[in-house]
Structure 1
Amino acid sequence: MSLPRRALVAAGAVTAALALAACGSGATGASAELAPAKGSTAPNGAVVNLTADQKRVTTPKVDAVAALVPEEIRKRGTLTVVDAIGTTPPLDFYANDDRTIIGVEPDVASLIGDVLGLKVEFNPVSWENIFVGLDSGKYDVGISNITVTEARKEKYDFATYRLDVLGFEARKGSGLKVAGAKDLAGRSVGVASGTNQEKLLISWSEENVRNGLKPIDIKYFQGTEFYLALSSGRIDAYVGPNPSLSFHAVQTGETEVVGTYSGGGADVLGKIAATTRKDNGLVKALNGALNEVIGNGTYAQVLKRWGLDNEAVPTSEVNPPGLPKPKP
């Protein structure tokens, strides 16, 4: 059983790239081909259910937390969740029916809906339209691997639910190990423009030059073509959200993650959060729901089924320190 047509693009010996949208400012792409006949294997060895019949982890409604939901949403009975178009395993992608969005993000959203007693309505859009929809009030909450940043905190409230970890993927056996800027000096590294990972690469390149080392040769990719560049040796590595890269590496067996780094940079532990329009009254309910599922163990079950155990947070925080604003 392979991924659906809209989420799959074959490209020579290497399958098409995973989309890298969420933790930065948006990129597009397609998911990797999943080799096993009846499912895919996550990095932790779990077999991933690719069907529309997800048998999602569920949890009971908690009246005290549900009471925190703004009256308008309670009366409506639905929680409108916006996420990036579903092509990013294991974050969000289409099941083999080409319609049902599955992944860790829909699972987390569903748990929140359970606790709040609300039916979750998924609305897949392009990355930039997540924020357009939140700004206009069209959607209640964005659950799409969105990183907390200081700039975004001026317009949005956040309730955290996962660590933001970036990964560096290279061909297996390349010998490359990435722990910091100097490891990429003089290397050709791919990235999606307008993302947090692009900001990291630029700052690392500048750091290398200040230290008398070669700059990083940054190559930009907005779609699936970067894996061809990686397989052919035109780039030494690609940087993006670690969940996607780790998942892809397991499927192909031809690449590996050769380093990870906080999506918040050296000074801030990057965190992924449910995102809602600032001061609309919803963030306390989201925070309460997340802490409920963290406490009752259903949150851990969701992360485990998608191979993201190592990105769990011990508690949900409201508006923690985020990725700093760029220096003038």
Structure 2
Amino acid sequence: MLEGPLMRRLSLVATTGAVALGLTLSACGSNSLSPGGSGGGNNTSSAPGPTGTVDQALAAKLPAKIKSAGKIVVGIDPTYAPNEMLAADGKTVEGWDADLFNAVAAKFGVTVDYSPSKFDAIILGVDSGKYDIGVSSFSITDQRKAKVNMVSYYKAGTLWVTKPGNPAKIDPNNACGKNIGVQTGTTQFDDISAKSKKCTDAGKPAVHILPHDGQNQVTADVVSGKADAMLADSPIGLYAIKQFQGKLEKLGDVYDSAPYGYVVPKSETDFANALVDALKAAKADGSYDAALKKWGVESGGITDFALNP
């Protein structure tokens, strides 16, 4: 699903050793995925029961399906460190996005089942009822709001990343003929596709787009030199630079800032509004800020949580 040039999701197996190091450095949560479920989104396993104070008024607003099951099934693409990723055990979902949603789910008194999926299949999964909600750094766009409800909870922009010193002399506004990595299904994919069209319309070579289903593969291409640069959400780009010390650097400034949103079925407006209230409650009790601070992403925190802003 490719929507608008605003940013992903605005969306590391760099070398196996490098990614293992990156994941080991980050530890949180205990939301396990079933082995072998890292691509198809067909396997889930329950996270431990919620902690914190349950808001009975919010719990009463849960859809009947979730009340009956006692859990929220979440579609997630765990290749997007530090937002959502797999821990070194290969099955535990961690990251600030997961930490935050766990705090939100605690307000409802339910557990969370994280179900792995390709990013561009999550909205379809929510719409079909496969998932109760999508939590995977989705940027809120008009195209997405036309299909599902979206609840804002964070704000990020697009950032370009390249090798130190920018050896390929990449200009984000004129990358004609360059090898550029991007995750499939993201609005960054639309962004670079539009830039490539501008190149060909001007009689210049098209951008050589190197797409991957997972952001980890995109980052690996830049680290190895296969790609000259990549574009991704700002927290992801900055995290990759930190994890691969001395091998990557940012290129230019963050642009096209927009809010992230939880993806909720169009038919579940009451649930979506309850998520807004749960986010407000998490902000009030400090769990919202704690989740962001733990991962160093406080700069994108918001207070104006809303349905379909």
Query: Smaller-chain TM-score range?
Result: 0.7 to 0.9
2:269 paired with 1:278: no
Counterpart of 2:266, as a letter, is K
TM, length-normalised to structure 2: 0.76
- Equivalent residues of 2:72, 2:110 under 8 A apart: yes
Deviations along 1:239-263, whole A, 9 cap, x unmatched?
Answer: 122222222211221111223434x
Sequence identity of aligned pairs in percent? 24
Deviations along 1:246-303, whole A, 9 cap, x unmatched?
Answer: 22211221111223434xx4xxx42211111102231011111112112332111101
2:8 paired with 1:23: yes
- Structure 2 partner of 1:257: 250
Instruction: Return the offset for 1:158.
Output: 0.8
Deviations along 1:11-56, whole A, 9 cap, x unmatched?
Answer: xxxxxxxxxxx93597x966852548x952xxxxxxx326859999
- Structure 1 partner of 2:34: none
Structure 1 residues 116 and 176: CA distance shift in structure 2, 3 A: farther
- Equivalent residues of 1:181, 1:207 under 8 A apart: no
| Count of residues in Structure 1 that have an aligned counterpart in Structure 2 | 282
| Structure whose residues are more often helix by fraction | 2
Please point out which of 92, 100, 103 is paired with 2:95. Answer: 103
Q: 1:89 & 1:49 partners in 2: Cα distance?
A: 12
Structure 1 residues 75 and 306: CA distance shift in structure 2, 3 A: same
Q: 2:186 & 2:265 partners in 1: Cα distance?
A: 21
- Structure 2 partner of 1:195: 186
- Structure 1 partner of 2:27: 49
- Equivalent residues of 1:92, 1:106 under 8 A apart: yes
Deviations along 1:71-99, whole A, 9 cap, x unmatched?
Answer: 44334422222212x33321222223332
Q: 1:66 & 1:317 partners in 2: Cα distance?
A: 19
Q: After superposition, where does 1:170-185 map in structure 2 within 5 Å?
A: 170-174=162-166, 181-182=173-174, 184=175
RMSD of aligned Cα (Å): 3.6
Structure 1 residues 137 and 209: CA distance shift in structure 2, 3 A: closer
Q: After superposition, where does 1:66-105 map in structure 2 within 5 Å?
A: 66-84=59-77, 86-105=78-97
Q: 2:51 & 2:205 partners in 1: Cα distance?
A: 49
- Equivalent residues of 2:200, 2:206 under 8 A apart: no
| Other structure's SS at 2:307 match | coil
Q: 1:228 & 1:99 partners in 2: Cα distance?
A: 21
Counterpart of 2:119, as a letter, is W
- Structure 2 partner of 1:294: 283
TM, length-normalised to structure 1: 0.72
| More displaced 10-residue stretch of structure 1: 273-282 or 252-261 | 252-261
Q: 1:161 & 1:247 partners in 2: Cα distance?
A: 20
Gaps of 5+ in 2: 1-6, 32-46
- Structure 1 partner of 2:208: 218
Counterpart of 2:193, as a letter, is I
Structure 1 residues 77 and 259: CA distance shift in structure 2, 3 A: same
- Structure 2 partner of 1:3: none
Structure 1 residues 60 and 228: CA distance shift in structure 2, 3 A: closer
